[in-house]
Structure 1
Amino acid sequence: MRFPLLQPRWIGIHLAAVVVAVSCFGLGYWQYVRAQEPSREVITNPLQDLDEAARLTAVLTPGEYMPDDDANRAVTATGTYDADARRLAPALSPDGDEGYYVVFPLVTGDGVAVAVNRGWIRAEDIDRVDELPAPPEGKVTVTGWLRPPQTAEDGYVPLTVPKGQIDRISPAVLVNEWPYRLYEGYLTMAEQDPADPPAAASAPHTEVIPPPSPPTEIIWNWRSLSYAAQWVIFGIAAIVFWISLMRRENGSGRPGGEAPEDRVGDEESDAQRSAAAAS
């Protein structure tokens, strides 16, 4: 046949090669776009204005999963502090100084509580933590920002976790510390009614640290970027294999670039010339 690459079986091979190549490059582009999106551990929601705070019970249900979209949402919670259940969680200040978050459970209902981060103290004040003013007694309304459970990568990891401390603010950790059913997230306090009682001038004080603002630059997800490169390589390999098959079919891959039919004709001509010479 004059055009072997247009035979029905080759048309099927052409279509399959095009589909495979286009699919690989399309998946590579999709992974490239995903590589420019933050991973699930990165919070992209801006801090909501406290004037727009909603009731915690309208946002979350105790024990249920906290959606990522609720991170940095302004909420209010009303309850009573369990002053005897204070825990300290290691944390870095915005300037990178080591210290601790002071965390209390705010009991909002029968056997239900939310962890409240009431502020940050310096690491050198850890021995004077008992001098901190106790939280107000009775009903308290706390307004702040809802935060997802901390992971092991948040803050810094202490060498040891003494009694009265936790390695991170997470219900998975606090459920073993407090006898309450907990909300999935925790509350970073911004305002409180009534306010804390005044502390002695010489006593250490807690510093309210709002959650960090979400990043505005592109945060490359290197895993997705590597997947994008792999898909592109697969697409190139499919094209190379396709071209190799066509070259083999046309005989361009043989020595001298001769097609099989040309070589057969040359062999017959040589045989005829040999026979003529012998006669």
Structure 2
Amino acid sequence: MLVKPGWLGTHLLAVLALAVCLVAGYWQFVRAQEPSREVVDNPVERLSQAQPLDEALEPGAYMSERKGNRAVRATGVYAPGEQRLAPALSPEGEKGYYVVAPLVTGQDTAIAVSRGWLPQDTADSAQNVAPPPEGEVTVTGWLLPPDKAEDGYVPMDVPEGHVARIAPSLLVNQWPYRLYEGYVVLGEQRPQDPALGGSAAELRQIPPPDPPKGTVWDWRNVSYAAQWVVFGSAVVVFWGSLVRRALRENGSAEGGGSEGDDGGRAPSADGGGDGDQVSVART
């Protein structure tokens, strides 16, 4: 009975539904192990692979996290007197500042460039930090999305010449330029920046950190994967209940047919059947 055409369609439908549940559950499980979309998870590109900034990002256009750590190259002129300090932690956890300046790449268009990092006790204001070089420069570095409020550390106040974080949404209020959505972490510059060096009073180059290599679990996707497993189990239980009920009904039908055949047998030739009925009546 279970191999008839109608049942073969039911079996195929159950297999397909189970396969969909397993594939969807596995896909959600894999997604649960991926970093959040709000985290830059691309490897830091080599500066030798740098591409022109305009090919990687357009001024004012939205920048996704997937474009982070991309090596880019931009040519322009640093705007004088527009340098800002943004609070930031060093890789060792020491408090300090990123020195940010606008590199004017076109008419009323600029990209924020993080020139380097200074310890907190060596920079009182942006005016005390060595200015960027004059004239046309070519900057090669890594493109990063705007810093979020939770990045680095939150300062108690933001004095003049400072900015809370490197974000064009904040810098646009201080610079008279149309800004790119992201900013560039300086890697190389021609001509070289004289402020870069190894002493405490000079800027320290800090490239972007590598993306996290550990597994970052997204428990929402884990719950989705568990739901698909439950759906797959329900498919198996439902299919099993259909098969068991069909077998039970089929067995009952066969049993009822056999009893009907026995009760319909013709009486024996010697009339024993009639004699029995008469005896029962008399009794």
- With structure 1 as the length reference, what TM-score do the two structures score? 0.76
Please tell me the residue identity of whatever aligns with 2:47: L
Question: 1:166 and 1:131 mapped to 2: Cα distance?
Answer: 16
Aligned to 1:152: 149
Aligned to 1:28: 25
1:236-275 to 2 correspondence within 5 Å?
Answer: 236-251=233-248
Q: Is the 8 A contact 1:89 1:101 kept in 2?
A: yes
Q: Choose from 104, 107, 117 the match for 1:107.
A: 104
Question: 1:83 and 1:91 mapped to 2: Cα distance?
Answer: 23
Cα 1:154–1:62 change in 2 (3 A) is same
Cα 1:47–1:249 change in 2 (3 A) is same
Aligned to 2:174: 177
Q: Secondary structure at the match of 1:236?
A: helix
1:50 is aligned to 2:79: no
Q: Is the 8 A contact 1:121 1:206 kept in 2?
A: yes
How far 1:163 sits from its partner (Å)?
Answer: 4.2
Please tell me the residue identity of whatever aligns with 2:20: S
How far 1:29 sits from its partner (Å)?
Answer: 1.4
How far 1:117 sits from its partner (Å)?
Answer: 0.5
Q: Secondary structure at the match of 1:83?
A: coil
Q: Is the 8 A contact 1:74 1:144 kept in 2?
A: yes
Q: Choose from 71, 75, 82 the match for 2:72.
A: 75
Aligned to 2:136: 139
Q: Choose from 15, 26, 29 the match for 1:18.
A: 15
Aligned to 1:226: 223
Please tell me the residue identity of whatever aligns with 1:49: R
Question: 2:164 and 2:242 mapped to 1: Cα distance?
Answer: 60
Please tell me the residue identity of whatever aligns with 1:46: P
Q: Is the 8 A contact 2:125 2:161 kept in 1?
A: no
String of CA shifts for 1:144-195, please: whole Å, max 9, x gaps. Answer: 2222222334323345444443333222332333221112221101223334
1:235 is aligned to 2:225: no
Q: Secondary structure at the match of 2:153?
A: coil
Q: Secondary structure at the match of 1:127?
A: coil
Runs of at least 5 residues in structure 1 that lack an aligned partner in the other structure = 253-258, 269-276
Aligned to 2:190: 193
Aligned to 1:255: none
Cα 1:139–1:260 change in 2 (3 A) is same
String of CA shifts for 1:178-223, please: whole Å, max 9, x gaps. Answer: 2211122211012233344569xx9843221011123444444443
Q: Choose from 34, 37, 59 the match for 1:37.
A: 34
Question: 2:152 and 2:195 mapped to 1: Cα distance?
Answer: 29
Q: Secondary structure at the match of 2:54?
A: helix
Aligned to 1:59: 56
Q: Is the 8 A contact 1:129 1:204 kept in 2?
A: no
Aligned to 1:123: 120
Once the two structures are overlaid, the 10-residue window that deviates more, 174-183 or 60-69, is 60-69
Cα 1:224–1:198 change in 2 (3 A) is closer
Cα 1:58–1:18 change in 2 (3 A) is closer
Question: 2:210 and 2:103 mapped to 1: Cα distance?
Answer: 25
Q: Secondary structure at the match of 1:21?
A: helix
Larger Rg: 2
Please tell me the residue identity of whatever aligns with 1:184: E
Cα 1:16–1:118 change in 2 (3 A) is same
Q: How much is the aligned-residue C-alpha RMSD, in angstroms?
A: 3.6
Q: Is the 8 A contact 2:195 2:203 kept in 1?
A: no
Please tell me the residue identity of whatever aligns with 1:233: V
Q: Is the 8 A contact 2:86 2:99 kept in 1?
A: yes
Question: 1:204 and 1:51 mapped to 2: Cα distance?
Answer: 29
Q: Choose from 84, 87, 109 the match for 2:81.
A: 84
Q: Is the 8 A contact 2:83 2:126 kept in 1?
A: no
